């Protein structure tokens, strides 16, 4: 089974579930036309399985579907985008220069 990303607006976060188990989340904050990616968390027991990248990529794609861009203030999210520069297109224009 592939992990499933859900948006939990009452918690201001995207959650990643593998089956019935919560394996990570990405906290966010609305910011007008954009959404601040504030913090990515994957518990130690689920580390090194690629869940963090799945969270960031999924969140960026979901934001695009909603007509929003991302402001990646979370160090993990910013580093993931830096390693996967094709994702910079999802970043708010005023923040894209840091990913050039």
Asked if residue 12 is part of any domain, the answer here is: yes
pLDDT by residue, tens only, the chain of 100 residues:
799 999 999 999 999 999 999 999 999 999 999 999 999 999 999 999 999 999 999 999 999 999 999 999 999 999 999 999 999 999 999 999 999 7
Asked if residue 82 is part of any domain, the answer here is: yes
Domain range for 72 is 4-91
Asked if residue 75 is part of any domain, the answer here is: yes
- Collapsed DSSP state (helix, strand, coil) of residue 6: strand
Q: What is the CATH number of the domain that holds 10?
A: 3.40.630.30
Q: What is the pLDDT of residue 61?
A: 98
Asked if residue 86 is part of any domain, the answer here is: yes
59-97 burial string, b = 16+ CB within 10 Å, else e?
A: bbebbeeeebbbbbebebbbebbeeeeebbebbbeebee
Asked if residue 96 is part of any domain, the answer here is: no
The total domain count for the chain is 1
Q: What is the pLDDT of residue 100?
A: 79
Asked if residue 98 is part of any domain, the answer here is: no
| Whole-prediction pTM | 0.95
């Amino acid at each position: 089974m592939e992990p499933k990303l859900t948006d939990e607006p009452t918690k201001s976060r995207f959650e990643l579930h593998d089956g019935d188990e919560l394996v990570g989340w990405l906290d966010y904050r609305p910011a007008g036309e954009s959404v601040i990616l504030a913090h990515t968390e994957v518990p130690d027991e689920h580390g090194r399985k690629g869940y963090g990248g799945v969270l960031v990529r999924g969140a960026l794609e979901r934001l695009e579907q909603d007509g929003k861009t991302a402001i990646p203030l979370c160090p993990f999210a910013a580093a993931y985008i830096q390693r996967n520069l094709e994702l910079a297109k999802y970043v708010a224009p005023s923040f894209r220069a840091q990913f050039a």
